[in-house]
Structure 1
């Protein structure tokens, strides 16, 4: 029996190429990484392929102006504009390559910014904000609508929009993700930072990552903000606006840097922590907040 064309797509909120750095061969020689997840009353650990990890069906799916499902945000933006340019840059950083070119730095900055807004929690926030924005717009124009309203028209502008353009909030919501990432001022803030990366040998204590892997200790405009990201089990990148402070940070013992970054990455994880093995299970269990301990995600209101 023939099957119809599939309209869904599984979208990674942490890219497959990034997670592959933590994958190791299992008994079947397939490349898998270890994930930790809280299930009732215990910390569960299992192995998963990078392709199967950190993804959600139709996470960035939207609708076009005709109400048809579209995967354009994933297929036309996150793939070719964010992940594909960033992958070789991160590979270069892991390999200990030369300083980044201007184009490479821009690709990495875009990747870092994207990791802040491509999470399931933020995408849900964007969709809700679009719905609220359409409702507020309708309320602001209600008097004009009533002055123009003719017999047979819906009783309110909000009703009119829901009847004539039911997909408008969804179209405006998820489609705004690329514009949020591409804000010139936001990318410029990232590019103002001094970046340093390298190999961190802390023995059996390797770098962990999670479903929220980029650490921002403060807002990007704060001069004391530290941005950090594990790139592999042994390589991490740190950034600060003050080159001297960054130098002093990078001069600290590797074990201190690994433990500090791991603590932040695990504490801010929402659903999953990733590792190359289970050797740091006790550390994860100590710092990974249970669902009931996690604070509700809070995001700024989006402005037109």
Structure 2
């Protein structure tokens, strides 16, 4: 299986509940004009390689999307099916999965990912610089 490059910040499982005949209405502002498209839930709410990690071994570049986000979304999809099905006795694991999903929505959008990435890079560069400046004092005998 190849690594996914479409990283959904609004997961398709979540969007499907609003689809009519399998499609959603997507509105975008392009060159100052609002353009409306009909899209499937899989075809919207994503950005190419949004969670791709650069500078690591190739087998780990998509690890966050492939492992972590998959875990978050699959657990939330299961919980959502229980909620929509009217199940009032939802297991704690499903409720936890739903909360994890809701919290992920705060941080998984392109703007938040860019901000977090910038902050992490700044911290990394500052830490490396401090280590270089203080190496002689910090290194063990």
Q: TM-score range by the shorter chain?
A: 0.7 to 0.9
Runs of at least 5 residues in structure 2 that lack an aligned partner in the other structure: none
> Which residue among 106, 131, 138 is the counterpart of 1:116?
106
Q: CA separation in 1, counterparts of 2:55 and 2:67?
A: 14
Report how far residue 123 of structure 1 moved: 1.0
**1:89 corresponds to:** 79
**1:13 corresponds to:** 9
Structure 1 residues 141, 67: CA separation in 2 closer, same or farther (over 3 Å shift)? farther
When normalised by structure 1's length, the TM-score is: 0.41
Q: CA separation in 2, counterparts of 1:55 and 1:49?
A: 12
Runs of at least 5 residues in structure 1 that lack an aligned partner in the other structure: 26-30, 149-304
* Equivalent pair of 1:12/1:55 in contact (CA under 8 Å): yes
Q: CA separation in 2, counterparts of 1:134 and 1:63?
A: 14
Structure number with higher helix proportion: 2
For residue 96 of structure 1, give the secondary structure of its aligned residue in structure 2: coil
| Matched ranges for 1:25-36 at <5 A | 25=21, 31-36=22-27
Larger Rg: 1
> Which residue among 97, 114, 133 is the counterpart of 1:143?
133
When normalised by structure 2's length, the TM-score is: 0.84
Report how far residue 39 of structure 1 moved: 2.6
Structure 1 residues 7, 108: CA separation in 2 closer, same or farther (over 3 Å shift)? closer
Q: CA separation in 2, counterparts of 1:141 and 1:78?
A: 33
Structure 1 residues 144, 55: CA separation in 2 closer, same or farther (over 3 Å shift)? same
1:42 and 2:38 correspond: no
Structure 1 residues 47, 107: CA separation in 2 closer, same or farther (over 3 Å shift)? same
Report how far residue 67 of structure 1 moved: 6.4
Report how far residue 92 of structure 1 moved: 2.0
**1:130 corresponds to:** 120
Report how far residue 147 of structure 1 moved: 7.5
Structure 1 residues 99, 69: CA separation in 2 closer, same or farther (over 3 Å shift)? closer
Structure 1 residues 61, 92: CA separation in 2 closer, same or farther (over 3 Å shift)? same
Report how far residue 127 of structure 1 moved: 1.4
Report how far residue 136 of structure 1 moved: 1.2
